[in-house]
Amino acid sequence: MRNISLLSVVLLLSISTVSFAGKKDDKDLVKENQRQIELLKDALEAAQDSLETEVTHRYTLRQNAVEQRESDKQQIDQLRETQEKLAGDLSRIKEECLASEQNISDERKSAKTVMDQWVYEKNSLGDIFKKDADAILEAFPTDREIRREALERVRSDFAAKQDPARAWDDFVKYSCNDISTGMCVSMTGGEVLPDQGPAIRLSLARFGNVFALGADKSGAAYIIRQTGRLGAEKYSVEKVGSPEYATYISDSFHQWLKNGTPVGSIKTEILQNDQSRLLIAGKKESAWTELYHSLKAGGLIMIPLLLLPLWVLYLTFWKGFQIALRGASYKKCHKKTMLLIGKNDFDGALAFVKKQKGVIARVLEICLERKEHGRHVSERAVREQLMLELPVLGRGINTIAVIAGAAPLMGLLGTISGMITLFAAVTHYGTGDPKFLAGGISEALITAKTGLAIAIPALFIHDFIRNSRDRLLAEIEQLSVSAMTHIWPED
């Protein structure tokens, strides 16, 4: 465009030059102008060609720019679509990650729940095994070792395989086997430990878990019965002392062993109480034996409870002798001193009381030493001596009162222990067997009765000792006043 403008200016200048040249050689001028015009035309054509080329080039560049812009736009659109797709994929991946995290959290919770459930089942089985192991002490005597070995196998298998379901099935089989054994009437044998003597092996006619009749190799008859207590003392293995009952068992055993099972009528005391023990022994117990069994039924609380009356007796004898001896000693010292004072031998009386012991001797010593100062000066010192004697004479008396108050409380403690035993029996065995209920009630009543039996006499003893102390204090005051009256008759 700039070249075309330049050519146009040159052409205009040429025409102007021709106009102003006048009439100067027209032919040469015309030729020159034509030549310049031709040159200008050539230049103009060249400029036009250049312009067309430039326009074409510019157009091509523009087309290329347009095409490039369209291509860039397409690429941008593709990139935007790709970006949006990637954003969508990223959002989806985030959602999947969150869902996976939630699933992992749920799985962890589920795993924790399963773990807690497993731990609970494991602990529950452990508690069941422990409870059953404790209950083995209350099993039938011939079943204890068998049950202990069977339960130990179940526990060992569970500890090795850690499978609660299988362990529970094994425990159910073990329990069902024990229950079926306890419901059968059979002839069996086993080693038992009698209440007295070493372990022996008996042939037994067993009637479930209720009782059993047995015989040893020598033919001696035994009976296994329930005692009405809990724990290891639930069953008692006793030798039959009654000749008639022992003969019946020995004669019946031959037929029972021949048949393989007990047949016919069975002679036994079905209640299996203390009366049964007397019938089995074949003799009546002494009063001391009955007292022993009665106190034994009270439980461990009877040990400290029975120590209380011994303590009361010790304090009673100690305070009784103390009060009696001091009373006699004080009267003797006062009488001797009064005889010397009656003879106006005050120096001899003072020498005598200084050799004596006790509150009266101290009172007389004070009075004789302060004879010249008058009665009123000595009375305060005398009162101080009497106040010092009061705690000495009262020592131990309040302890008797404390024992009298503590004995019923200890009996109440035994009552609570008996009730706990009672409820434990009800929880363990239900309310169908009154012997277990009676055992707890017996323990409760025996301790309460013993506590009251100790407290009531202790109260009377405390009152007696306290009155004796008060009488002695009154006598000491009377003797002190009598001594001061002899020393200062004019006052």
Flag whether 127 is in a domain.
no
Mean pLDDT, residues 468-490 = 74
Same domain, 116 and 143: no
Two tokens, residue 118: 């497993």
**Residue 338 belongs to some domain of the structure:** yes
97 and 185 housed in the same domain? no
Residue 255 pLDDT > 60, yes or no?
A: yes
Query: Which range, 270-279, 285-294, 367-376, 444-453, has the best average confidence (pLDDT)?
Result: 444-453
> Tens of pLDDT along 166-183?
888 888 888 888 888 888
Average pLDDT on 1-30 reads 54
Torsional sign, CA 333, 338, 339, 344:
positive
Decide: 203 and 253 in contact? Cβ < 8 Å.
yes
Same domain, 187 and 224: yes
Contacts 24+ apart (CB under 8 A), 205-211: 205/252, 205/253, 205/256, 205/262, 206/140, 206/142, 207/262, 207/266, 208/182, 208/183, 208/184, 209/139, 209/140, 209/182, 209/183, 210/272, 211/268, 211/272
Tokens 């109260």 correspond to: 459
Range of the domain at 404: 302-487
Q: Is the dihedral of CA 235, 237, 238, 243 positive or negative?
A: positive
* Domain shared by 113 and 144, yes or no: no
Instruction: List, for residues 189-239, the tens digit of each pLDDT value.
Output: 888 888 777 888 888 888 888 888 888 888 888 888 887 666 777 888 888
Confidence of residue 380 (pLDDT cuts 50, 70, 90): low
Question: Cα angle vertex 305, ends 299, 306, to 5°?
Answer: 100
pLDDT over threshold 70, residue 100: yes
Query: Has residue 13 been placed in a domain?
Result: yes
pLDDT reading at 23 higher than 50? no
pLDDT at 20: 43
Is the residue at 297 inside a domain?
no
Q: Which of 206, 202, 199, 197 is nearest to 221 (CA)?
A: 202
Most trustworthy range by pLDDT among 92-96, 161-165, 477-481: 92-96
12 in any annotated domain:
yes
Same domain, 106 and 164: no
Segment of 222-226, 268-272, 374-378 carrying the highest mean pLDDT: 222-226
On the question of pLDDT at 460 being above 70, the answer is yes
Number of H helices, E strands in the chain: 13, 5
- Which tokens go with 85? 């797709």
Q: Is 469 within the bounds of a domain?
A: yes
High-pLDDT (> 70) share of the chain, %: 79
pLDDT score, position 456: 92
Q: Give me the pLDDT at residue 443, please.
A: 67
pLDDT at 24: 45
* Pairwise CA distance, residues 140 & 207, whole Å: 11
Higher pLDDT, 99 or 33: 99
Flag whether pLDDT at 351 surpasses 80: no
User: What pLDDT score was predicted for residue 18?
Assistant: 47
Let me know whether 27 and 158 are in one domain. no
Do the beta carbons of residue 326 and residue 476 sit within 8 Å? no
Sheet holding 211-215, edge to edge: 185-192, 200-207, 211-215, 221-226, 235-239
Count, residues in the chain: 491
* Per-chain mean pLDDT for the chain: 78
247 and 357 co-located in one domain:
no
Residues 37 and 174 in one domain: no
Please check whether residues 421 and 306 belong to one and the same domain.
yes
Average pLDDT of the segment spanning 344-360: 73
Contact 206, 188 (CB under 8 A): yes
Measured CA to CA, the distance from residue 436 to residue 426 in angstroms comes to: 8
Are residues 442 and 336 part of one domain?
Answer: yes
CB-based contacts of 411: which residues, under 8 Å, 6+ apart?
305, 447, 448, 449, 450, 451, 452
The continuous run of DSSP H or E covering 52 comes out as helix 26-135
pLDDT of residue 459: 92
The residue type found at 421 is: T
Indicate the burial class of 62 (C-beta count within 10 angstroms; 0-12, 13-18, 19 or more): exposed
Q: Are residues 274 and 365 in the same domain?
A: no
- Within 10 A of 326 (CB to CB), how many other CB atoms are there? 21
Q: How confident is the model at residue 487 (pLDDT cuts 50, 70, 90)?
A: low
Question: What is the tally of structural domains in the chain?
Answer: 3
Looking at the fold, whether 476 and 345 belong to one and the same domain comes out as yes
Q: What is the pLDDT of residue 235?
A: 85
pLDDT tens across 301-346, in order?
888 888 899 999 998 888 888 878 777 777 777 777 777 777 776 7
Q: Which of 216, 251, 284 is the last residue of a domain?
A: 284
Note the Cα 322 to chain centre separation in Å: 51
Q: Comparing C-alpha atoms, which of 489, 483, 488 is closest to residue 336?
A: 483
Select, from the ranges 406-420, 432-446, 449-463, the one with the highest average predicted confidence (pLDDT).
449-463
Q: Where is the domain boundary, 222, 255, 284?
A: 284
Is 292 domain-assigned? no
User: What letter does residue 232 receive in the DSSP assignment?
Assistant: G
- Do β-strands 185-192 and 200-207 pair in parallel, antiparallel, or remain unpaired? antiparallel
Residue 27 resides in a domain: yes
* Range from 78-92, 181-195, 352-366, 451-465 carrying the lowest mean pLDDT: 352-366
Decide: 280 and 241 in contact? Cβ < 8 Å: yes
Q: Which of 58, 89, 121 is the last residue of a domain?
A: 121
- 412: which strand partners? none
SS3 at position 228: coil
Supply the pLDDT for residue 379: 67
Confidence of residue 147 (pLDDT cuts 50, 70, 90): confident
Residue of 214, 212, 194, 185 lying closest to 202 (CA atoms): 214
In this predicted structure, the answer to whether residue 407 has a pLDDT above a threshold of 80 is: yes
Own/partner pairs, 74-79, CB within 8 angstroms, 24+ separation? none
pLDDT of residue 163: 83
Question: Which residues are 187's β-sheet partners?
Answer: 205
Residue 435, pLDDT above cutoff 50: yes
Residues 137, 87: Cα–Cα separation, whole Å: 74
Both structure tokens of 268: 């036994």
